[in-house]
Amino acid sequence: MSKPIFDKVLIANRGEIACRVMKSCQLLGIKTVAVYSTADEQAKHVQMADEGVCIGPPASNESYLCIDKIVDACKKTGAQAVHPGYGFLSENGDFQSALAKANIIFVGPDAHSIQAMGDKIESKRLARDAGVTCIPGFIGEVKSHEDVLKFANEVSYPVMIKASGGGGGKGMRVAYNDKECVEFFDLCREEAKAAFNSDKMLVEKFIENPRHIEVQIIADRKGNTLYLPERECSIQRRNQKVIEEAPSVLLDPATRKAMGEEAVAMARAVQYVSAGTVENVVNPDKQFYFLEMNTRLQVEHPITEEITGVDLVEQMLRAAADLPLSITQDDIKINGHATECRVYAEDPTKNYFPSIGRLSMYQEPVGPGVRCDSGIIEGSQISVFYDPLICKLSTWGKDRAESIERMEKALDQYVIRGLRHNICLLRDVVTEPRYQAGTLTTNFLVEQYPGGFTKTDLTAEEKVTMYQAAAAIHVKREQLHYTQGGESEGQFYVSVGPKQDDEHPVFVRRVGENSFEIGATKAGPLKKVEVEWTVNFPIIVVRDGVKETFLQFWGTNEVSYGIQMKGTTFNVNVLNDLQSVLNQFVPEVQEGVNAKQVLSPMPGVIVGIKVAVGDKVVAGQEILTLEAMKMRNKIHAAADGTVNGY
């Protein structure tokens, strides 16, 4: 066996990306070191590593962002190299320099490349000097409300306000008027300072109805710089990617080649080494504009690996060890299509507010072409200190249609209990006709759900499938719970919600372990349906002879069953004749709203209060700023009143 590229590598990150890097290291025979905060002591990435070093308390600026602590961890463990993952210190030139000073190899680009491309203002200057077409913008730092308002009114709204050094959608917002411009400038600057320790801001014209398409590059120190097939990243919320795919349905081979060659030229202009990504805004006519370059491994890199077979982490390690890449440009081909969904701990029905909690049940989907990049296990805690990403779920198919179909099934079989998540949104998007047609822009979510995402709508056919499954489970449970065996058949009235507004008659006769004859009434006609479900097992599989449907079982309160379909959980009533009659007389519970209190819509930390005791406020007035999972949110008064205390 040949000697490993490195003996030991420290991963200066946490969560799924730390686990991802460790997997490649393990395959290459490289020992790994995890660093962790006290909040992550039992985390998956710590368990995966050969060694672990605690580097401080939960707050990132006291642990994962502390350069001295990570350098010290390398010295203690004898790690020869550091892979930074993404986020945290991955695009920090000072970090690279500090490692170099300590004779530790940084698995990434050199400091001068990070500084040139990591600063969005400087990168635009370099791009324009190199003849690359850029989005119209103010070339320089905007330091005040006056600066940002002056530019915004010169180029006309909308404008994009964003942190000069950062990424991941943090410190970035689109303003459509002067009021938003001022408010968003302050919010973005605060977020940037908290996340990247820099509040340097830039502003540029926001191109409406764009597509966000990026090109992956990889380079070594031997003069080899390659581009890989593009990734379409247009499905975004809060300027942060939610669903990506590779390749893009928009591009033709000529445009793909042009974008790739321009990305390579950009990389060579700054003597770039390692993996990086050139991001572009693309209009419907396939005209592309340089947006920025991320000098790190991207979150969505798995879909590029899925369609090319290239292990990007391995190539990064080779480049860092001063070895040539193991591939050439001619080796890179497009094989099939890949889709990635970012599964977040957040509630898409409440403006994507993050959710915290412990994963009381957690089962990742498996199957052909399914890949899960996660940093959690059952029992893991999702806290307020870090990004709410649970997993990057990827599916590969021989074509786009198969990739999407596999994604639908994988999302339906993804079991997450203990906190809110966005699977209902992801599931809805990938089945939308507009998405399946590939008609994408970065405004997709806003346009598709103009009032915000509420919940999944089921077709009449889908409701029947869910109702029949609930009735079949009811019969199966009844037989299991009686020592002499319960009735093997029954007539039921099934509906969703507290009243029978949509009551559906269902007759069920059990004829085998998972076999049922089902119809509206006993008189028929009856159809044979397979309902595969085991007590205490969350997945329900329904086969009606035409298609296979995956549902999830959330429990029961005797007459109502929690059934998850297409990512949304419904309370399904399964009532006999008497229960159906009596249920009509049960009063509905009315939820009250206390307008005298300002309740936080999410757990977080108050970082700014805009009012004082005794102040009179009006409905809609800003009360405070709340920070949760790296994002800042303005909280407003729900009614007129006077501040009595806090």
Q: Quote the radius of gyration of the chain (alpha carbons, Å).
A: 27
> Which stretches within 13-63 are classed as H helix?
15-27, 44-48
Q: Quick one: which of 469, 474, 497 has its CA closest to 486?
A: 474
Distance of alpha carbon 243 from alpha carbon 235, whole angstroms:
5
Q: Quick one: which of 270, 316, 311 has its CA closest to 296?
A: 316
Distance of alpha carbon 209 from alpha carbon 190, whole angstroms:
28
Distance between the two ends of the chain, CA-based, in angstroms?
65
- Residues 6+ away with beta carbon under 8 Å from 351: 452, 601
Tell me the torsion sign for CA atoms 563, 564, 565, 571. Answer: positive
- Is 292 catalytic? The answer is yes
CA distances from 553 to 178, 469, 550, 561, 571 (A): 49, 10, 10, 8, 11
Give the pair of three-digit tokens for residue 182.
Answer: 């001022």
Among residues 191, 292, 306, 364, which one is catalytic?
Answer: 292
Distance of alpha carbon 358 from alpha carbon 324, whole angstroms:
44
Q: What is the 3-state secondary structure (H, E, C) of 96-164?
A: HHHHHHCCCEECCCCHHHHHHHHCHHHHHHHHHHCCCCECCECCCCECCHHHHHHHHHHHCCCEEEEEC
Strands 353-354 and 346-347: antiparallel
Q: Quick one: which of 39, 85, 46 has its CA closest to 60?
A: 39
Query: Could you say which DSSP state residue 6 is in?
Result: -
**DSSP readout, 277-313?**
EEEEEE-TT--EEEEEEE-S--TTHHHHHHHH---HH
Q: How many other C-beta atoms are found inside a 10 Å radius of the C-beta of residue 270?
A: 22
Three-class SS state of 492: strand
Give the pair of three-digit tokens for residue 225.
Answer: 């710089």
Cβ(412)–Cβ(566) below 8 Å: yes
Q: Hey, which residues does 539 pair with through a beta bridge?
A: 552
Residue-wise burial string across 594-612, b where 16 or more C-beta atoms lie within 10 A, e elsewhere: eeeebeeebebeeeeeebe
Distance of alpha carbon 375 from alpha carbon 306, whole angstroms:
19
Distance of alpha carbon 429 from alpha carbon 235, whole angstroms:
9
User: Catalytic residue positions?
Assistant: 292
